[in-house]
Amino acid sequence: MFDVVVIGGGPSGATAAEDLARSGYKVALLDRAGRIKPCGGAIPPRLIADFNLPDAQIVAKITTARMISPTGRHVDIPIENGFVGMVDREHFDEFLRVRAAQAGAVRATGTYLRIDRSGPTPAVIYRDKVTGNARSLPTRLIIGADGARSSVARDEVPGAERIPYVIAYHEIIEAPEATAAYDPKRCDVIYDGAISPDFYGWVFPHGKSASVGMGSMIKDVDLKQATADLRAASGLTDCPTIRREGAPIPLKPLDCWDNGRDVVLAGDAAGVVAPSSGEGIYYAMVGGRVAATAASACLASGRVRDLKLARQLFMREHKTVFRVLASMQNAYYRSDERRERFVSLCHDIDVQRLTFEAYMNKKLVKARPMAHLKIGLKNLAHLTRLVSATRT
């Protein structure tokens, strides 16, 4: 009998399992082994600090971000007073699962099937990977952290299946030698409708390897061909391919994260991926932490309404950032002309500083009112076409 069964062993589920196990609860962590999520792998310094991430997990330290427009213009944005860390999800996720097990979580490997409520408490039924047999994990509470298109969310939370998402695809390649086109300390973000008509493409260094990919909400887009075109444009066609991965990435947090009974969602299952940037690792781990907090409160009080704490705690800190990023995506990703204007806007030193201060610290910067005013006026000028798309 478990206090909590966590379904899904990505960053969100592993974090929830570790937090609960360290708090003395009996926890099971159910995960499908062998799946690697397509992910650029970027993590901010706040994640490293908040979740005690060892330096050994960081495969590259990025000091510059390059924004590339549809016409090939680019702006290099230095990352002042720090770096953006890069992780390889193949090893990073397993590190988090091992750490949860070391904290006391019991690992189970298999595929979630359903929640059985025929007994005195719910039980998670899963198909064991080794034997193929159905097995049961009786529990008091369940955390669904099984990713976008979550089976737990679909079964337990009304409306969860209608969440909007981007289909992301990337190829992990052997990193080339440093050149003018490829810098192992620089992330390239490509805003070009020929690569992605409604999102962006990327080239992110991972030390000995690199992630090259893109995403789109449009079903007719050929993700593999677009990635091949991106590799060609970036001079990476001849680099050997290590692996290929694709998966949906949600773009909007769900309005409800629990079933009002015994299930709470976390991470991609709850839709907590940042609009515009598609950043998910930090928000997934925060989602796992607040889900663990909500589960702990519910177990201590016996009040199922305490499960709502997960969403309340998350949105209290991150709602404004998500709204700003969603507005930016809606404003600038709709056409190449708008994307050209967005890259022009990135030349502004205040845009660069405020953007990366917000990214590094995961909160909007309020200490520079005149900078915010100037950026607002420049945004208005570009969106109303009062200035040229190439004006900085």
Whether pLDDT at 381 is above 60: no
Of the listed ranges 76-85, 241-250, 294-303, the least confidently predicted one is 76-85
Instruction: Kindly state the average pLDDT of the residues 254-267.
Output: 96
Distance CA 165, CA 269 (A): 11
Instruction: Give the residue with greater pLDDT, 85 vs 345.
Output: 85
Q: What is the pLDDT of residue 386?
A: 55
Give me the residue label for tokens 């592993």.
14
Give mean pLDDT, residues 336-357.
Answer: 81
At 111, list the tokens. Answer: 């595929």
Domains and CATH numbers, the chain: 1-38+86-161+252-319 (3.50.50.60), 57-85+163-248 (3.30.9.10), 324-382 (no CATH)
Which ranges of 182-258 does DSSP label H, i.e. alpha helix?
Answer: 223-233
> Is residue 382's pLDDT more than 90?
no
Q: Averaged over 315-322, what is the pLDDT?
A: 90
Q: Are 203 and 234 in contact, with CB atoms under 8 Å apart?
A: yes
pLDDT in tens, 3-21: 999 999 999 999 999 999 9
| DSSP assignment of 364-380 | ---S-HHHHHHHHHHHH
Q: Which residue has the tokens 């205040």?
A: 350
Residue pair 193/339 in contact (Cβ under 8 Å)? The answer is yes
- Candidate from 56-60, 129-133, 277-281, 370-374 with smallest mean pLDDT: 370-374
Determine the Cα–Cα distance for residues 351 and 372; give it in Å rounded to an integer.
9
* Residue 251, pLDDT score: 83
When pLDDT is cut at 50, 70 and 90, the band that residue 222 belongs to is: very high
SS3 46: helix
Q: Which helix (H) or strand (E) holds 103?
A: helix 89-103
- pLDDT above 60: residue 73: yes
Residue 371 clears pLDDT 50, i.e. is over it: no
Tokens 């992780």 — which residue?
Answer: 87
Cα–Cα distance, 81 to 356 (Å, whole number): 10
pLDDT digits 0-9 by tens, 156-215: 998 888 888 889 999 999 999 998 889 999 999 999 999 999 999 999 999 999 999 999
| Residue 374 confidence (pLDDT) | 47
Average pLDDT, the chain: 89
Question: What's the rounded Cα separation, in Å, for the pair 253 and 239?
Answer: 37
Does 385 score more than 90 pLDDT?
A: no
Confidence of residue 391 (pLDDT cuts 50, 70, 90): low
E strands present in the chain: 2-7, 27-31, 42-43, 60-62, 64-68, 74-78, 84-86, 106-116, 123-128, 134-144, 165-174, 186-190, 201-206, 209-216, 241-250, 263-265
CB 27 within 8 A of CB 17: yes
- What per-residue confidence (pLDDT) applies to 124? 98
Number of Cβ within 10 Å of residue 71's Cβ equals 13
Per-residue pLDDT tens digits for 166-179: 899 999 999 999 98
CA dist 275 → 199, 209, 328 (Å): 10, 26, 8
Where does residue 155 rank: exposed (0-12), middle (13-18), buried (19+ CB within 10 A)?
Answer: middle
Report the C-alpha dihedral over residues 88, 91, 92, 97, rounded to 10 degrees: 160
At 213 the pLDDT is 95
